[in-house]
Chains A and B, each alone.
Chain A
Amino acid sequence: MSDAPDLEFLPGEMGVYFHWPFCASKCPYCDFNAHVADNVSHERWRAAYQRAVSHYAEMLPDKRVVSIFFGGGTPSLMEPESVAAAIDAVRAGWPCSNTLEVTLEANPTSVEAAKLAAFREAGVNRVSLGVQALNDADLSFLGRAHDAAQAVHAIKISQEIFERVSFDLIYARPSQTLEGWRDELCRALDLARGHMSLYQLTIERSTPFYLRSKRGEFVMPGEAMGADFYHLTQDVTEEAGMPAYEVSNHAVAGQECRHNMIYWTGADYIGIGPGAHGRFMRDGAVYASRDHHAPEVWLSRVEADGSGAHPFEAVDAAGRFEAGLMTGLRLCGGVDVEALSKTSGKSFNDMVDLKKLDVAVREGWAVFDGVRLRLTREGILRLNALLPYLLV
């Protein structure tokens, strides 16, 4: 079997996502499925991941795995043996690309940095570090367990161990200035090798930050300020040769995260672990999967019958088209609407209001050559409003 291009996927090529639901402490901005637990039984979790993988392998035999991703939670808290076992299970279940990307999210604390070599041994070839900020005051505001010096150290150690290293930063923080961010971003670009994720801080319901901002303990930058932050970020990263390839992701050419490209291009992926989602083709139909949210429930379900998933939901043609457009337009390269029409089974003209598309093009938000539709920077900035506007 020949290798597919790195960032475009052939039918049957698939990503595997593992969700590790535990953290040492919970960050006040995070609304992900993460729990703080003291006595996690690594043996049980290891076995459960293996079991769930082989369950999927039986169900979806004709796939080929191009990416594995360990997310969380804090997967760098996993025992390296568990990571190795999960990777081995995938390799045993399906043929894998010989450029298989195996990413693990890690926190830049000293404890976790010490485990990085073992993760490499286990089969991980890419890490994504949750750095979030490069100054101590903001790191403490964000509730992170590391300081800036540890973060820099972790980035450097990782870069020695792994060929591919990414890290995350959160910007548009309360009381952050454009100048302050420019300075921090430039320092980050000096450290970065190939890939960075730059997220604007979002206050989610059901997080401590939500309540605190409601109470007025801090004030978030307004929408106009958010736009200014975004433009500054694009300008600085473009100049440094690490432009955005997605709303919040930046890479030098060829260093894009393959696993996330799977999500945004509508390729197949399965999700294993509490609250993990999947989306895959099976017997000609597309299904969405969702695993049980509570760690204990998930674990016992998998132990009992091999799967922690709720019943799969079939995704209809319109749903496939809309999801494809929604994620595809997040990419700076846009979306091939002919391909989208073909894979979803819905024609572009039936789904998109062409008159409104004309308006979007005239306003400078979209570029359309009849095949590929892509949003400009201004368009991407308005994506949430633009999508329902464009869809019939």
Chain B
Amino acid sequence: MTKPLSQIRNFAIIAHIDHGKSTLADRLIQTCGGLEEREMQQQVLDSMEIERERGITIKAQTVRLAYTAKDGVEYQFNLMDTPGHVDFSYEVSRSLASCEGSLLVVDATQGVEAQTLANVYQALDNNHEIIPVINKIDLPAADVDNAKQQIEDVIGLDASEAVSVSGKTGIGIPGLLEAIVKRLPPPHEGDANKPTKALLVDSWYDTYLGVVVLVRVIDGYLKKGQKIKFMSNGRTREIDRVGMFTPKHVLLDELGPGEMGFITAAIKDISETNVGDTITDDKKPCDKALPGFKPSVPMVFCSFYPADAGDFEKLKTSLGKLRLNDASLHYEMETSQALGLGFRCGFLGLLHMEIIQERLEREFDLDLIPTAPSVVYKINMTNGDQIELYNPVDMPDVVKIDNIEEPWIKATILVPDEYLGGLLQLCQDRRGVQIDLTYAGGRAMLVYRLPLNEVVFDFYDRLKSISKGYASFDYELDGYGENDLVKLEIRVNDEPVDALAMIVHRASAEYRGRAMCERLKELIPRQMFKIAIQAAIGGKVIARENVSALRKDVTAKCYGGDITRKKKLLEKQKKGKAKMRQYGNVEIPQSAFIAALKMGDE
């Protein structure tokens, strides 16, 4: 039943957000008869609501298509839709590792974007054959030549044989399908007689099936009833289903060398199925796991607190549900004096964090208070120990610290000339180190090394506002580096406000501290007592503000009817006290801290 390798083509589609990747995929599916016209709903691949809205793919997906080429042979196409953002770059790399070629989709009206670059480079790292595809040629603003020129100038690929298409109207699709057969290679290796060896491309939780595992078979077969082993953790399971997506679920007897599809094996916990793992036969294992496996490591951290303390249990359950489908989401409970009970969460990156927050708010109807995002610092102690710091609150005593290392990124920014000055300034302000500055097609390509902690703090928003939305930005992690970092503590009446603590570079500590003090001064209502707000590094106060004590707060009139009204006000004030936090002799409403956090990115 399985196809010979020569009749299989496994390929990914690489594109920037909005460049029409999903529309093109839909068109390929439809042209090959994977779905009838009436079954097509726009962008069938991006099934999650949030994926569709934001135009990003979070989970890898595959679709198997049957295409009868002009040579009369029916080919098996396995179309891989990869996660589209750098936060999921490891997941992207494993998706790409399961293919031999890529379609590089460039919008004829937009040209190449930074995000495209990173994924192209990953495809090249995986020895992909790449077909440049110029999309949206039906639009009046389409400039095919310019798009080709950019592919050559910015990426360095030969674009002379680029295929021009419109995913929307279907122009050029037949030519593209032929190009896939002729120009993309079949799977390089694959021996049906060798022990089973398959790449775990991705996995997700399905309420009815349990964990569904997306696989690419290298050698041997995956069959129903087979006992398999996950090589990274040694777990064994019996396969209860083998199948493919067309994009409908279709059950198969087996998956053979070079093929892609899914298996289920009564797995309940997605953390068993690690992306990039090698699946083999339990009794007759392959001798070596596939290269490139890495356990997922969260890079960005922040805490979520329910705005309504009564929602804590709901938040806990909701995170659990998201975790079912997202092994890279980490969380543990924490208690904040200022904000109550919540969770410290770890994410692959900023977008991952945003997506999780948005899903919690939208799908689970939670009102969340996120703390300022933070990164993982490595703290080298004077006694030679190294500890990893996930939360500024846990910073050890400075006298015991020898030095602090912070994570750096390599950022690639593409920006129209006119906004270059502003962006250079922004990168400079954020302690960036310029690595490269080149021009292509009226745009500058900036490569900078930047500390990740400067990027998690409103960098992306600033970038977008400076460039009026025209700059595109992408990054990869680029190791750790020692720096003069300090814990900036905010104190109210001499007591630290845990939720507002942050790690900052000493040079920006005073500015950030002053900004936070000024903000709190605006937000904390005046009370009977003077309130001292301070920003401090260690024992040293670097900025201070006072909320002066109120001198007068009394209702002028209180007669018969006013008593009821005043009494209601008093009830409200007393209820509000439950949401107050005690700092010295004053009680500060939680809402002030929430507002301070919300204003964090202004």
From residue A274, how far is it (CB to closest CB) to chain B in Å?
Answer: 11
Q: Indicate whether B553 reaches chain A with its CB closer than 8 angstroms.
A: yes
Q: Once the chains bind, are A388 and B573 in contact (CB under 8 Å)?
A: yes
Task: Tell me, in angstroms, the Cα distance from A382 to B528 when the chains sit together.
Answer: 7
- Rounded to whole angstroms, the CA-CA distance of A17 and B561 in the bound complex is 11
Residue pair B554, A381 in contact (C-beta under 8 Å): yes
Interface assignment of B551: CB less than 8 Å from any CB of chain A:
yes
- Closest CB in chain A relative to B579 CB, distance in Å: 13
Chain A residues with Cβ below 8 Å from B550 are: 223, 382, 385
Interface of B is mostly: loop
Q: Indicate whether A326 reaches chain B with its CB closer than 8 angstroms.
A: yes
Cross-chain contact A322 with B563 (CB below 8 angstroms): no
CB-CB < 8 A to A384: which residues of B? 553-555
B565 to chain A, nearest CB (A): 9
Contact A223 B552, beta carbon cutoff 8 Å:
yes
0/1 interface trace, chain B 535-555, chain A, CB 8 Å (1 if under): 000000000000000111111
Could you give, for residues 377-392 of chain A, a 1 whenever the CB lies within 8 Å of some chain B CB and a 0 otherwise?
0001111111111010
* Chain B nearest Cβ from A261, distance in angstroms: 11
Q: Would A327 and B563 count as touching, CB distance under 8 A?
A: yes
Contact of A330 among B558, B561, B576 (CB under 8 A): B558
Q: How far is the CB of A18 from chain B (nearest CB, A)?
A: 11
**Is A202 located at the chain interface by the 8 A CB criterion?**
yes
Distance in angstroms from B574 CB to nearest chain A CB is 6
| Bound-complex Cα distance A288 to B561 (A) | 10
Q: Is the CB of A275 within 8 A of B561?
A: yes
Which of A106-114, A136-144, A224-232 lies at the binding interface?
Answer: A224-232
Q: Which of A202, A224, A382 has the most CB of B within 10 A?
A: A382
Contact (Cβ within 8 A) A385 B527: yes
Is the pair B570, A322 in contact by a Cβ cutoff of 8 Å? yes
Closest to B565 in A: A277
- Is B208 in the interface zone, CB < 8 Å from A? no
B321 CB–A CB distance under 8 Å: no
List, in ascending order, chain B residues with CB within 8 A of A277's CB: 560-561, 563-564
Among the listed A224, A290, A380, which residue makes an inter-chain contact with B554, where contact means beta carbons less than 8 Å apart?
Answer: A380
Contact assessment for B561 and A383 in the assembled complex, using a CB-CB cutoff below 8 Å? no
Is A248 part of the contact surface with B, judged by Cβ < 8 Å? yes
Check: B38 CB closer than 8 A to any chain A CB.
no
Beta-carbon nearest neighbor of A71 in chain B: B559
Of all chain A residues, the one with the shortest Cβ separation from B571 is A322
Q: Is the CB of A391 within 8 A of B574?
A: yes
Tell me which of A264, A288, A330, A359 contacts B564 (CB under 8 A).
A288
Q: Which residues of B lie under 8 Å from residue A264 when comparing CB positions? A: 558
A199 at interface (Cβ–Cβ under 8 A)? Answer: yes
A247 interface residue, CB < 8 Å from B? yes
Q: Which residues of B contact A278 (CB under 8 A)?
A: 560
In contact, A290 and B564 (Cβ under 8 angstroms) = yes
Contact among A271, A276, A385 for B553, CB-based, below 8 A? A385
Q: Say whether A326 contacts B567, CB under 8 Å.
A: yes
Q: Does B557 have its Cβ within 8 Å of any Cβ on chain A?
A: yes
Contact, CB under 8 Å: A226 / B552: yes
By a CB distance below 8 angstroms, the chain A residues around B563 are: 263, 277, 279, 323, 326-327
- How far apart sit A358 and B426, CA to CA, in the bound complex (Å)? 54
| A381 engages B564 (CB within 8 Å) | no
Q: Tell whether A11 is near chain B: CB-to-CB under 8 Å.
A: no
Distance in angstroms from B40 CB to nearest chain A CB is: 54
User: Smallest Cβ distance from B284 to chain A, in angstroms?
Assistant: 73
Using known A-B contacts A322-B567, A359-B585, A385-B527, determine if residue A271 contacts B552 with beta carbons closer than 8 Å: no
Is A319 an interface position by the 8 A CB rule? yes
A346-B551 Cα distance, complex, nearest whole Å: 31
Interface residues on chain A, size class: 35 or more
Chain A residues 315-362 with CB under 8 Å of chain B are: 319, 322-323, 326-327, 330, 359
Shortest CB–CB separation between residue B351 and chain A, in angstroms?
Answer: 42
Give the most central of B556, B557, B576: most A CB within 10 Å: B556
Q: Is B506 interfacial (CB-CB < 8 Å)?
A: no
Return the contact of A247 from the options B554, B574, B585 (Cβ within 8 A).
B554
B556 & A388 in contact (Cβ 8 Å cutoff): no
Cα separation A279 to B559 with both chains bound (whole Å):
12
Return chain B residues, CB-CB under 8 Å to A380. Answer: 554
Contact flag A382-B566 (CB < 8 Å), given A263-B559, A269-B560: no
Q: Cβ of B560 and Cβ of A17 under 8 Å apart?
A: yes
CA distance A226 to B564 in the complex (A): 25
Within 8 Å of chain B (Cβ to Cβ): is A150?
no
The answer to whether the Cβ of A200 comes within 8 Å of any Cβ in the partner chain is yes
Determine how close the nearest CB of chain B comes to the CB of A234; give it in whole angstroms. 12
Other-chain residue from B528, B560, B573, B577 in contact with A276 (beta carbon distance below 8 A): B560
Contact A223 B551 (CB under 8 A): yes
Report the Cα distance A182→B125, complex, angstroms: 86
Bound Cα distance from A235 to B554, whole angstroms = 18
Chain B CB within 8 A of A260 CB: yes
Per-position binary interface string of chain A over residues 267-307, scored 1 when its CB falls under 8 Å from any chain B CB and 0 otherwise: 00101000111110000000010100000000000000000
Bound CA span A330–B563, Å: 12
With most chain A CB atoms within 10 A of its CB, the pick from B527, B555, B573 is: B555
C-alpha spacing A230/B577, complex, angstroms:
28
Specify which chain B residues have a CB less than 8 angstroms from the CB of A275 in the assembled complex: 561
C-alpha gap A263/B527 in the complex (Å): 28
- Other-chain contact of A389, B528, B554, B561, B567 (Cβ < 8 Å): B528
Residues of A within 8 A of B573 (CB): 387-388
B570–A388 touching, CB < 8 Å: yes
Tell me, rounded to whole Å, the shortest Cβ–Cβ distance linking B530 to chain A: 11
A389 to B580 CA separation, bound complex (whole angstroms): 12
Residue of B whose beta carbon sits closest to that of A388: B573
Nearest CB of chain A from residue B575's CB, rounded to whole Å? 10
Please indicate the chain A residues that have their CB under 8 angstroms from the CB of B554 in the complex.
247, 380-384
Complex CA distance for A391 and B566, rounded to whole angstroms: 15
| Set of chain B residues within 8 Å of A288, measured between Cβ atoms | 564
Query: What is the CA–CA distance of A330 and B574 in the complex, to the nearest angstrom?
Result: 19
Given contacts A385-B528, A388-B573, A389-B528, contact A271 B556 (CB under 8 A): no
Asked whether, in the complex, the Cβ of B552 is within 8 Å of the Cβ of A382, the reply is yes
> Which residues of chain B are within 8 angstroms of A382 by Cβ–Cβ distance?
528, 550-554
Chain B min CB distance to A16 (Å):
11
Starting from the known contacts A322-B567, A381-B554, 20 additional A-B residue pairs (CB-CB under 8 Å) come to A17-B560, A199-B556, A200-B556, A202-B555, A202-B556, A247-B554, A247-B555, A260-B559, A263-B560, A277-B564, A290-B561, A326-B558, A327-B563, A363-B528, A383-B553, A386-B528, A388-B570, A388-B577, A389-B528, A391-B574
- 29 pairs from A and B in contact (CB 8 Å cutoff): A199-B557, A202-B557, A223-B551, A227-B552, A230-B552, A247-B555, A260-B559, A263-B563, A275-B561, A279-B560, A322-B567, A326-B563, A326-B566, A330-B558, A359-B585, A363-B528, A365-B528, A381-B553, A382-B550, A382-B551, A382-B554, A383-B555, A384-B553, A384-B554, A384-B555, A387-B573, A388-B570, A388-B573, A388-B574
Return the 6 tightest CB-CB contacts between A and B, nearest first: A388-B573, A227-B551, A227-B552, A277-B561, A384-B553, A199-B556
